[in-house]
Amino acid sequence: MNFRKASGALVAAGLVLAISANARAAGEEKTVEGYVLDSACAFVKNLKKPVSRECAVACATAGSPLVLLADDGTIYWPISGSVPARGQNTRLLKYAGARVTATGKVLERGGSRAILIEKIQGMPEKK
């Protein structure tokens, strides 16, 4: 009987660890302020903000993914939480080239950050 109690305790401890690991993998709720711009411009041109709304829209319409460039320089890839995944350009197009506040779960892997945007709204240009 002691063996059953001990093995039950081990199983319970294992479940707690598994749930904790999944909670971390699920991401942390965060609010990010920054610009919505073309991913290529963020990397290739090392822009701090978009050149113009028209430029960001043209790049997004041509198929380049839009990203969120936070004020601290961190790039967040907007992703969907569904499988198969859905691109986020359609949702972000109205904010292309604009400064926004986005709230959602942030996921990290291999130095990259992604955000599952739950709420996004435009905000004034940073001075």
User: Model confidence over 46-102: pLDDT tens digits?
Assistant: 888 899 999 999 999 999 999 999 999 999 999 999 999 999 999 999 999 999 999
Using CA atoms, how far residue 77 sits from 32, 38, 121, in Å, is 12, 11, 17
Q: How many domains does the chain have?
A: 1
Using CA atoms, how far residue 25 sits from 2, 31, 99, in Å, is 35, 18, 28
Mean pLDDT of all residues in 6-29: 53
- H helix intervals, the chain: 2-25, 39-44, 53-61, 89-92
Instruction: Give, in degrees to the nearest 5, the angle at Cα 125 between 120 and 127.
Output: 140
Mean pLDDT of all residues in 28-36: 97
**Radius of gyration for the chain, computed over Cα atoms and rounded to the nearest angstrom:** 20
Is 80 part of any domain?
yes
pLDDT score of 124: 85
The pTM of this model reads: 0.77
Are β-strands 99-109 and 66-70 bridged in parallel, bridged antiparallel, or unpaired? unpaired
**Could you list the residue range(s) of the whole structural domain that residue 63 is in?**
27-122
Is 51 part of any domain?
yes
The token duo for 73 is 């320089």
Whether a cis peptide bond, with omega within 30° of 0, leads into 124 is: no
Q: What is the domain-level CATH number for residue 53?
A: 2.40.50
Is 127 part of any domain?
no
